[in-house]
Amino acid sequence: MAINPEEFYNELALHGVELFTGVPDSLLKEFCLCVDDRMSKEQHIITANEGNAIALACGHYLAKQSIPLVYMQNSGLGNAINPLLSLCDPDVYSIPMLLLIGWRGEPGVKDEPQHLKQGKIQIELLKTMDIPYEIISKDSQDFKSKISKCIDTAKGENRPTALLIKKGTFDKYGKTVSAEEDQSMKREEALEIILDNLDDNTIVVSTTGKTSREIFEIREKNNQSHEQDFLTVGSMGHCSSIALGIALAKPHRQVVCIDGDGAMLMHLGSLTSIADMKPKNFSHILMNNKVHESVGGQSTAAKNINLSKVVNSLGVSKMFFAESPNELKQKIGEFLSNSELTFLEVKIQPGSRDDLGRPTKTPVENKVSFMKFLEN
């Protein structure tokens, strides 16, 4: 039987956990909804990336001397490794905290290609990092004792410990993320307009999550080849850097990067490299729905900040904005025809089709056809 998120939260609260921070994961969605209901904004903080969350939790412990909890998908553990080993490790500052890690790509459990290697090496990775851990599944009737053991070890040895959460562990919490009324267009509608205005020689690099999935399905629906699209199915936040590398190597080909707000925020520093190099063939599009849609719809910091102003402050040559189909249709031509670094923010509403599929080509197949396309 799946674990009641309230019971799980209550057990953590009994142990004095009063800060919850991290990056959302679909496996932890129901638990995070529960935390949202019970903690203030200052006590439940969604960070731009997992490394930020580790450092924030470290600061909390230094000031309060209470064990913080940092949640993440296991793919995000890569972002957290540096502060875990160079800040929190017993050989450095010896900072205790509890990690709650969603185990994507668990061996024997069907998952997407980008999660398989991370899932396969998950246990060995925690062992190599010398982080004590417990595994919790929907059948873990002893989950309370496992929480106690990890927190006791974290406190007693002043070190990070981890709870590794299997798929399907948490029962439904009975609440959904409330969406603000939004009259803007759907992402798939906006992507169709964008793709329809690209010529056959344009190079496309798209961000992880539903953006790449929708691009794949639009191409399928239109009986088009997928060769000009690099679908960044993993490595969240890095599609703009991939696109920059291509743009600099292929200066006579137009490169269009289709980014997301959560992904852009995760590695915001990459924008400084783009602005510094100012490739004239680089067109950067932000699809902004202000949520982490693929993992549950939790808000991103884009809800409270103006990302276009951030980008503009770095010295991007031309700025564009669209929030309706007609506005996007009117501006997309001028945006794409500029022979200088350009940025377009497209305001979209959260949500996607219930029957949205996934790419039927493997990442390697995508890479091979894409590289042949670049050679032409």
Contacts of 84 (CB under 8 A, 6+ apart): 54, 129, 131, 160
Torsion of CA 106, 112, 118, 124, to 10 degrees: 20
> What H or E segment, with its residue span, contains residue 33?
helix 29-38
Query: Treating both helix axes as pointing N-terminal to C-terminal, what angle do 29-38 and 5-14 enclose, rounded to 10 degrees?
Result: 60
CATH architecture of 5-165: 3-Layer(aba) Sandwich (3.40)
pTM of the shown model: 0.91
Task: List per-residue pLDDT tens for the chain, 376 residues long.
Answer: 899 999 999 999 999 999 999 999 999 999 999 999 999 999 999 999 999 999 999 999 999 999 999 999 999 999 999 999 999 999 999 999 999 999 999 999 998 888 999 999 999 999 999 999 999 999 999 999 999 999 999 999 999 999 999 999 999 998 665 555 566 799 999 999 999 999 999 999 999 989 999 999 999 999 999 999 999 998 999 999 999 999 999 999 999 999 999 999 999 999 999 999 999 999 999 999 988 877 777 888 888 899 999 999 999 989 999 999 999 999 999 999 998 999 999 999 998 888 999 999 999 999 999 999 999 8
259-311, pLDDT tens digit by residue?
999 999 999 999 999 999 999 999 999 999 988 877 777 888 888 899 999 99
SS3 category, 46: strand
For the chain, the domains span 5-165, 185-375
- Output the CA–CA distances (angstroms, integers) from residue 24 to 33, 46, 116, 320, 335, in the order listed: 10, 7, 19, 30, 33
Torsion of CA 244, 249, 255, 257, to 10 degrees: -20
Q: Based on the number of CB atoms within 10 Å of its own CB, is 268 exposed (0-12), middle (13-18) or buried (19 or more)?
A: middle
Can 5-165 and 185-375 be said to share one CATH topology? yes
Task: Please give the radius of gyration of the chain, using alpha carbons only, rounded to the nearest integer.
Answer: 21
167-205, pLDDT tens digit by residue?
999 999 986 655 555 667 999 999 999 999 999 999 999
Look at domain 185-375 and name its CATH class: alpha beta
Q: Give residue 196's Cα distance to chain centre.
A: 27
